[in-house]
Amino acid sequence: MSLNLTKQRLASAEARVDKFIDQNILIWATELILLPGQTNIAASISPKAATGLSLEKTGFMKIDLVWNFKGPEGQPLDFYLEYGTKPHRIKAKGKDAGGADMLHWKGPSGGFVIGKDHFAKEVRHPGTQPKGLVQGIKDERLPNLKARIISEVNNFMEIDKIE
Amino acid sequence: MSERKGDDAVRIPIEIKSEDMAELQQLLQQLTEAEEAARTARASGAALPSKGAAGPQTFGGQAKRSGREGAAGEGPGGIFAGVRDMDAMPTSFRDRTGRQAMQRESPFKALQDQVKNQADEQMENTIGLMDQMMQMGMGYVPFIGGAKIMGAVQKHGINKLKQHMQQNAAGGPPQGGFLGGAAAGAALPVATGGKAFKVLGMVRKVTMGKGLIGAAVAGIVTAIMLSKTYIEWMQAPGGPNDLRYRRVIATEMDPLFERKEKQEINMGIRTVRISGSPATRGETQIRSTLEQVKRGVPVYNGEFEAYAKGLFLGSGP
């Protein structure tokens, strides 16, 4: 092999490494971030919520971890859970609007007996603490992805070298 | 941290930067240093660091390096220093001082010898088998006349047969064929089948005259030889169960390949000729992945692989 070719290969090595990462990052991220993340969400929320988690490639060596989880009427449950909610009021819709006149729930509330039925026309919800599920999945799994990338790149360079 | 886009879903961006990863950065740094070393070596005509340090920059040293001798005293100098093992052309030729012309074996002759050796080997096996059968026959027939009959068979039949076979083996190609005259001389098993047919005829002729035991022996020998010849004919080149086309599906399935192998194939380092893809193979029933790589046709597709593994990330519900 000529020296010129060696020089060219060395000069292009960084670009080739980046290209290699870009070509494979989606597969590696699927194995190391998406699938474990879906398992976490399925265990902590519901299987339906887990199916809403996906990966999208958004650019060169860039991917987005996307969570799309909406309520039956299109409520952005994903945002509510991820970033939390401020204290807010919840009112019964009323029969005229296609809902019920009273809100109904069971369970403890302000000293009531556990399991007892509760009815109200309006409640003041104290808000939801942000759970940061998707961010947590990323923070927890990203080191694994980086380790995988390093391992794969080393492997790639080993294969790619010309004897 | 996150951003809202048109689809109104939670998005957490993940961006990989090679400069953020220390080990990758170290690897790239090494590559940069190697590049620098290569550039220096090219400019000065010195040996590459991996092959020893360059000598002092003297006129004598330059003359040495540009000549046949390298800086370290071995291998050529100049720009070829240190790359002797990677020469594009072979550097060792035949001894030019000798008068003997270079001998090159004819591949056709080699094949012919191989065929002849195989035929001889098969002949020896056949005769050995028949000897064994005769011995068995004599062992199991100790009653009146049995040994006499078998002795006669041994004496007149087999010895004559051996002589005939040896003559046949020493002579030219066999005539006729096991499957009939139309296929005569077409392939090895057909030719050997011709000999087997003659052998069978002689066995039958010799043994049928010696009573029932001879006929039984002839029947056994015939059955064994027929089955052996039939299997050989089946598995021979051109036969219905041609061994050359025996396929191991496990090695042909893409998902079963290691990633390392895939990458080697993808870069054209390793050639795999596949005949297991009915939709893609051409008239020759093969396709070369190396040729595909040369033409820029992707051999492996990451999305397809993910799909095959059930990891496809298409647009969800």
pLDDT digits (tens, 9 = 90+) for B260-313: 777 777 777 776 665 444 555 455 556 677 777 777 776 666 666 666 666 665
CA distance B35 to B48: 11
- A124-160 pLDDT tens trace: 989 889 989 999 999 999 999 999 998 888 888 776 6
Q: Is B260 on the interface with A (CB under 8 A)?
A: yes
Q: Produce one character per residue of B73-93: b if its CB has 16 or more CB atoms within 10 Å, e if not.
A: eebbbbbbbbbeeeeeeeeee
How crowded is residue B3: how many other Cβ atoms within 10 Å of its Cβ?
A: 9
- Among the partner residues A29, A58, A153, nearest to B24 by beta-carbon distance: A153
CA distance B307 to B254: 12
CB contact under 8 A, B260 and A17: no
CA distance B181 to B191: 10
3-class secondary structure, A59: strand
- B84-128 pLDDT tens trace: 444 454 444 555 565 655 556 677 778 888 888 888 888 787 777
Where do the DSSP E strands lie in B43-82? none
Amino acid present at A15: A
- Going by C-beta distance under 8 Å and a sequence separation of 6 or more, which residues neighbour residue B228? none
When the pLDDT of each residue in chain B is averaged and rounded to a whole number, the result is: 63
Query: Poorest-confidence range of A4-18, A21-35, B16-30, B58-72?
Result: B58-72
Alpha carbons within 13 A on the beta-carbon side of B232: 19
Task: Report the first-to-last Cα separation within chain B, whole angstroms.
Answer: 25
**How close A18 gets to chain B, by Cα (Å)?**
7
Search chain A and give the residue with CA nearest B22.
A150
**How close B23 gets to chain A, by Cα (Å)?**
7
Q: Is B223 exposed, middle or buried (0-12, 13-18, 19+ CB in 10 A)?
A: exposed
The pair of three-digit structure tokens given for residue A83, joined into one six-digit string: 């970033």
Q: Residue ranges per domain, chain B?
A: 114-235, 249-308
Chain B stretch 81-100, residues whose beta carbon is closer than 8 A to a beta carbon of chain A: 83, 86, 88
The pair of three-digit structure tokens given for residue A78, joined into one six-digit string: 């994903």
CB contact under 8 A, A65 and B16: no
- A96-111 pLDDT tens trace: 888 889 998 887 666 6
Cα–chain center distance at A72: 20
- What 8-state DSSP symbol labels residue A85? B
The pair of three-digit structure tokens given for residue B199, joined into one six-digit string: 């052998």
Sheet holding A53-59, edge to edge: A53-59, A62-67, B10-15
Q: Residue ranges per domain, chain A?
A: 6-85+128-160, 88-127
Contact residues, chain B, for A141 at CB < 8 Å: none
Contact residues, chain A, for B88 at CB < 8 Å: 1-2
The pair of three-digit structure tokens given for residue B181, joined into one six-digit string: 């005259």
- Among the partner residues A3, A17, A24, nearest to B79 by beta-carbon distance: A3
CA distance B28 to A14: 6
3-class secondary structure, B268: coil
Q: Are A66 and A54 in contact (CB under 8 A)?
A: yes
Q: Is B24 on the interface with A (CB under 8 A)?
A: yes
Q: Is B308 on the interface with A (CB under 8 A)?
A: no
**How close A124 gets to chain B, by Cα (Å)?**
26
Cα separations in angstroms, A133 against A58, A81, A146: 21, 8, 20
Q: Is B67 exposed, middle or buried (0-12, 13-18, 19+ CB in 10 A)?
A: exposed
Q: Is B7 on the interface with A (CB under 8 A)?
A: yes
Partnered with residue B21 across adjacent β-strands are none
Search chain B and give the residue with CA nearest A11.
B35
CB contact under 8 A, B16 and A52: no
* Helix or strand (DSSP H, E) at B274: strand B273-274
Interface with B, mutate which of A20, A33, A66 (most B CBs under 10 A): A66
- Name which residue leads in pLDDT, B253 or A76: A76
Q: Is B42 on the interface with A (CB under 8 A)?
A: yes
The pair of three-digit structure tokens given for residue B124, joined into one six-digit string: 């020896």
pTM, whole model, 2 decimals?
0.40
Contact residues, chain A, for B83 at CB < 8 Å: 1-3
pLDDT at A68: 92
Q: Are A62 and A34 in contact (CB under 8 A)?
A: no
**How close A145 gets to chain B, by Cα (Å)?**
9
